[in-house]
């Protein structure tokens, strides 16, 4: 799948971006567990094995994590943190609680991971259902867990906090569907990281509100093929970014396009 970079599009398109800050946009409460910015107690396990193959794909729809730039710096969140997929793309800093286990590496410091998957609840497990509500929990890749503690531990006590996502380049959009149905995967979102509302327009249309299909796949049932496309994104903390002329008029389904800009760091 090709990514059409800023340089590749510059010859025929001029893009503009507008960041709008509004006190009226409040989609995520600071009191919710997925939005905390101060250190909070939780636990972490790992999945996917030391190759990381089992962490590819996932409930956020990012597919191959290497191709989308997330690599193994990822986590599956318990339902309380996952927030029905609205936390997809959010970033968290984790550190091992040295006083709670002997398995932590004392000099490990902290890691930063992006939410890319769901750790599903299992009501049948009443004593070790780590992802069962109301627990907050992080299921890490083996590689990330092994930075914090000896993998033999299986589960470790941690502290976590929400942090800004540092990404390279602009927000990226994978456009799939058919002439009457657009399914757009939004990824590589910096700053807040998690998109909670999205809008889309063609060069000859008004703005249309998109609905979230699953994870960070957003849908719109409008015929926009043959028009240059723009997007307006709002994150969980209320940051709105307009990405103008992301895709040229001759775009095709299955292509990936990169905006000229990304979310600013508001933390």
The CATH number assigned to the domain holding 242 equals 2.60.40.760
In this prediction, residue 264 carries a pLDDT of 63
114 and 90 share a domain?
yes
- Please report the pLDDT score of residue 266 as a whole number: 37
Task: Look at residues 162, 191, 223 and tell me which one is the last residue of a structural domain.
Answer: 162
| Cβ atoms within 10 Å, residue 30 | 11
What pLDDT was estimated at residue 66? 92
Q: Is residue 129 part of a domain?
A: yes
Judge if 135 and 243 occupy the same domain: no
Q: Would 3 be classed as within a structural domain?
A: no
| Cβ(138)–Cβ(42) below 8 Å | yes
pLDDT for 249 equals: 97
In a domain, 1, yes or no: no
d(CA 186, CA 49): 27
Q: pLDDT at position 235, please?
A: 92
Among 162, 195, 216, where does a domain finish? 162
* Domain residue limits at 149: 40-162
Domain boundary among 119, 141, 162: 162
Per the domain annotation, does 220 fall within a domain?
Answer: yes
pTM: 0.86
100 lies in the same domain as 194: no
pLDDT of residue 126: 84
Same domain, 44 and 128: yes
Instruction: Report the alpha-carbon distance of residue 7 to residue 126 in Å, rounded.
Output: 54
118: left (phi over 0), alpha (psi -120 to 50) or beta: beta
Determine the pLDDT at residue 24.
31
SS (H, E, C) the chain: CCEECHHHHCCCCCCCEEEEECCCCCCCCCCCHHHCCCCEEEEEEEECCCCCHHHCCCCCCCCCCCCCCCCCCEEEECHHHHHHHCCCCCEEEEEECCCCCCCECCCCCEEEEEEEEECCCCCCCCCCCCCCCCCCEEEEEHHHHHHHECHHHCCEEEEEEEECECCCCCCEEEEEEECCEEEEEEECCCECCCEEEEEEEECCCCCEECEEEECCEEEECCCCCCCCEEEEEEECCCEEEEEEEEECCCCCCCEEEECCCCCCCCC
Cα distance between residue 163 and residue 191, in whole Å = 8
Look at the chain and report how many structural domains it folds into: 2
Mean pLDDT of each 10-residue bin along the chain, 267 residues long: 39 33 36 78 90 86 93 96 95 93 93 96 88 95 96 95 93 96 97 95 97 97 96 92 96 96 64
In a domain, 213, yes or no: yes
Give the separation between CA 114 and CA 81, rounded to whole angstroms: 12
Instruction: Provide the CATH number for the domain around residue 88.
Output: 2.40.40.10
Are residues 251 and 176 part of one domain? yes
Q: Which residues contact 194 (CB under 8 A, 6 or more apart)?
A: 28, 86, 87, 88, 89, 90, 115, 235, 236
């Amino acid at each position: 799948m090709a990514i059409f970079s800023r340089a590749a599009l510059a010859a025929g398109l001029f893009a503009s971006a507008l960041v709008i800050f509004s006190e009226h946009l409040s989609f995520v409460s600071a009191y919710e567990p997925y939005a905390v910015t101060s250190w909070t107690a939780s636990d972490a396990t790992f999945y996917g094995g030391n190759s990381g193959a089992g962490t590819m794909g996932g409930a956020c729809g990012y597919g191959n994590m290497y191709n989308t730039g997330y690599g193994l710096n990822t986590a599956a969140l318990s339902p309380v943190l996952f927030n029905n997929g609205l936390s997809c793309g959010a970033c968290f800093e984790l550190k091992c609680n040295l006083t709670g286990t002997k398995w932590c590496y004392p000099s490990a410091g902290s890691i930063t991971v992006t939410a890319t998957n769901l750790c599903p609840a299992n009501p049948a497990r009443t004593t070790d259902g780590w992802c069962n509500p109301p627990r907050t929990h992080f299921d890490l890749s083996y590689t990330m867990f092994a930075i914090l503690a000896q993998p033999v531990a299986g589960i470790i006590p941690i502290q976590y906090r929400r942090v800004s996502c540092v990404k390279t380049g602009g927000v990226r959009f994978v456009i799939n569907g058919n002439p009457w149905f657009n399914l757009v995967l939004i990824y590589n979102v910096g700053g807040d990281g998690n998109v909670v509302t999205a809008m889309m327009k063609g060069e000859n249309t008004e703005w249309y509100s998109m609905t979230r299909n699953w994870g960070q796949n957003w849908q719109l049932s409008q015929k926009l093929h043959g028009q240059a496309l723009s997007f307006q994104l709002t994150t969980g903390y209320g940051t709105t970014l307009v990405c103008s002329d992301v895709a040229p008029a001759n775009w095709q389904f299955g292509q990936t396009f990169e905006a000229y800009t990304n979310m600013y760091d508001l933390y």
